[in-house]
Each structure stands twice: as C-alpha cells, then as structure tokens.
Amino acid sequence: MSAPMVFQNDVVVVGGGGHVGLPLAIALASRGQRTIVYDVSQRAVEQIRGARMPFIEPGADEILRDVVASGMLTASTDPAVVGTAENVVVVIGTPVDEHLNPDPNAIPRALSTCAPFFQDGQLIALRSTIYPGVTALVRDMLAGRGLDVDIAFCPERIAEHRAMTELFELPQIVSGYDEKSIKRAGALFGTLTESIVELTPEEAELAKLFTNTWRYIKFAAVNQFYMMANSKGLDFERIRAGLTHDYPRAQDMPGPGFAAGPCLFKDTMQLAAFSDNTFQLGHSAMLVNEGLPLYVASQLEKSHDLSTKTVGVLGMAFKAGSDDIRSSLSYKLQRVLRFKAREVLTTDPYVPSDIDPNLLPLDEVLERSDILIIATPHREYQNLTTDKPVADVWNLLGQGALI
C-alpha cells in the first residue's frame, strides 16, 4: 500500500482572487488553514501578495495583512499549485449566456486547466452557484481521468460586505456522494462555523438557487407594488411605512430599488432553465426587476422634455457602499437615458476610474445636471442638497419615493 500524500498546504482556492474566493481564503487562513489562492488575474495575485484587497470588503483588510505576514496566505497564477493542497475549493460559477441559457459545461472546461495537477486523496469542493447536475459532471470528469478524489458541493451563502462576519456566523451547507466526502467537507468548513447542514449534492445545488431566487422574487413583488402606486400618483414608501408599522407579518417587506448584482438575476434564470422554462414566476420577476430602470426613465419623460435635459445618475455600483459594477442596473439606466436625454452624466464614490473611466466627480454632476437620479443608495448621497428634481426610488433622502 502506497503512503498517503503529504500536502504542503491545507487549502487552495481556485478563482480565489474575487469577491467570493478571497474572503473565504482570508477566513480559512485566519483559522489556521495554510491557504493559497490560485487566480488567472496577475493584478489580483500581486495585490494579495502585497496584502492589499483588490476590492472593498469591510473587515478584510487587517486580517489579510495578518495572514499574509504570518505566511498563512499566499497567491499564485500557476495552476500547478492546485496539487499542493489537501482541499481544493473551486469558486468558479455557472455563467448564463446572452440568451439566458446556463452553460453546464463551463466549470468542467474551466477546471481542465488545473485538472492535470489534481492529486489522489484531495477533496474537491465546489463553492459558487452551479447549474443542477454540475457537481456530478465534475465528479465524472475527474473519475474519467483516473483520479481518486472526494467531491463536494458547499454553496457560498454570504452577502457582499458581510463576508467577514457571515462566514463565521451562518450555517454552512455541505454535500457529497458518500459519507467520507461529506465529513471531510464538514471538517473543512467547520473551522469557520459550528453549524453544518448536510444535504445531497442535488439538494444543495437547488438550495443555493432557491435562496437567491427567493430574494429576487421578493424584490420584484415590491418593485411591482412601487410601480403600481407611483403610476397612480401615490408614494409607495408612505404606504409601506404604514403597512409595516408594528405589523409582524410584513416586517420582511423590503423597500423598492434596483435588484442587481452578479447572482440574483443569473440564478433565477438558471432555475428557469432547469424547469424547462416553465418557471413563470421567475421570468415575471426578471421582467419587473430588469424593467425598473426603463420605468424610471419613462416616468421622468412624462414630466420633463428629456431631449433638452442633462441627467445625472448618482451611483453605478450594484449596491450601496460597493465598488462592484457587475450586472449593475445603473448601466442599463444609463443606456436607456442616452436615447432620451440630451446628455447623461455618471458618478460613484467607490468605483475606481480604471473600471469606469467616464465617471465624474459628484460636484460636477450636481452642477451640470438638470435632473438627478439616485441609482445606488450610497450613504454619501443621504445629505444631498439640491433644488433640482431628484428621482429617488430608494427614498434615500427621506422625502418619499414618488417620481
């Protein structure tokens, strides 16, 4: 019998330079797991090695400096590093194409680069949202290469900007095709949280999709309510405040706003595809949420001759306090307004100029614009003082959400 493989590292996070993988790598390293990030982005790898966060994640900067200084975390663009760790966590997700169809083979294809370096005895844990059945595809692909590895799907459940809290507090779902795989995955993530939930891979895949789709549908319901009220000249925010006041069964009703980001829309469309496009509720939610920017522009067009106006869009990130523009509906609003307005100006206090070089300082946008739209509810806009019309779906200014 051959001796068991001795690994240099405890964990390698494949695709670990991004919003999902890097907080996880930092958290694992902080709990005594010798961790290495593998990412194809040279820029991200260099920043991690220099103990600098490539993006905003509250609470991560100091811990990153500590784990890099202690040698518990490093990063590399060399795919060979995947063979150095006992646990391989893959944070590559299933993409949706321009026709809203998921590509189930995207992850097996992406793993083909580093698959030659996998070693017998490793645990391969998929982490990002995947189309149902992809865990089985990865299992079969690696088995076809003659590898004796354990396969698990352990979905990420954190919200951006809460990673360094929620990774340690939220229950972690783990799944595998046998008891050994489940126990190994539970032991790995048990270094972060004591609450482990065991499911089958198929159950876990759907649990992740159901979670994000449920949030997306709730946002769509509220956005539909908002458009109903607003179209009749009623302030939905006053209605929401009244119906939720000391009424426990309505406490989970969110406010209206752009429901965007890299997960909610994509995961809802994956679930629609999984149901052979019979998921009418999901498609309806998509039409409502994706239609809100057009609704805002159309409402402004009813009361203003936009062809003679300069419109300022405040906030281009997909959520407040973030520098992440992935799937941000602010850019959809910008595209719609370019057809209607004389000029469209954009600003954001967090998005760096190398990501969007067309952003202007807030003062300049406020001065040059005739109409303002708060597209992202950054705290920097809460004390906005202006005599110009402001479309504030979020009611960030506390003056109502009526357009």
Tell me the two tokens of residue 374: 């708060």
Q: Which band of pLDDT confidence, cut at 50, 70 and 90, is reported for residue 98?
A: confident
Q: Which band of pLDDT confidence, cut at 50, 70 and 90, is reported for residue 4?
A: low
Give the range among 242-251, 258-267, 367-376 with minimum mean pLDDT. 258-267
Residue 2 pLDDT: 45
CA distance 278 to 197: 30
Give the range among 28-42, 177-191, 256-270, 356-370 with minimum mean pLDDT. 256-270
Q: Give all domains of the chain, ordered by start, each with its CATH number.
A: 9-201 (3.40.50.720), 215-391 (3.40.50.720)
Q: State the average pLDDT over residues 307-318.
A: 98
Residue 185, pLDDT above cutoff 80: yes
Residue 107 pLDDT: 86
Residue 96 pLDDT: 75
Residue 1 pLDDT: 41
Q: State the average pLDDT over residues 156-161.
A: 91
3-state secondary structure of 334: helix
CB 24 within 8 A of CB 1: no
Question: Which of these, 155, 154, 92, 152, lies nearest to 124 by C-alpha position?
Answer: 152
Kindly state the percentage of the chain with pLDDT values over 70: 99
CA distance 73 to 36: 6
pLDDT one-digit tens code per residue, 14-35:
999 999 999 999 999 999 999 9
Residues 6+ apart with CB under 8 A from 96: 102, 103, 266, 269, 270
- Encode burial over 118-131: b for 16+ CB neighbours within 10 A, e otherwise: bbeebbbbbbbbbb
Give the range among 31-40, 109-118, 195-204 with minimum mean pLDDT. 109-118
Residue 3, pLDDT above cutoff 70: no
Looking at every residue in the chain, the average pLDDT score rounds to 94
- For the chain, the residue count is 403
Which pTM was predicted?
A: 0.92
CA-CA-CA-CA dihedral for 216, 279, 139, 200, to nearest 10: 80
CA distance 34 to 106: 28
Q: State the average pLDDT over residues 335-361.
A: 97
Tell me the two tokens of residue 375: 């597209």
Using CB atoms within 10 A of its CB, is residue 194 exposed (0-12), middle (13-18) or buried (19+)?
Answer: exposed
Question: 384 or 101, which is more confident?
Answer: 384
Using CB atoms within 10 A of its CB, is residue 209 exposed (0-12), middle (13-18) or buried (19+)?
Answer: buried
Q: Which band of pLDDT confidence, cut at 50, 70 and 90, is reported for residue 103?
A: confident
Sign of the CA dihedral running 60, 61, 63, 67: positive
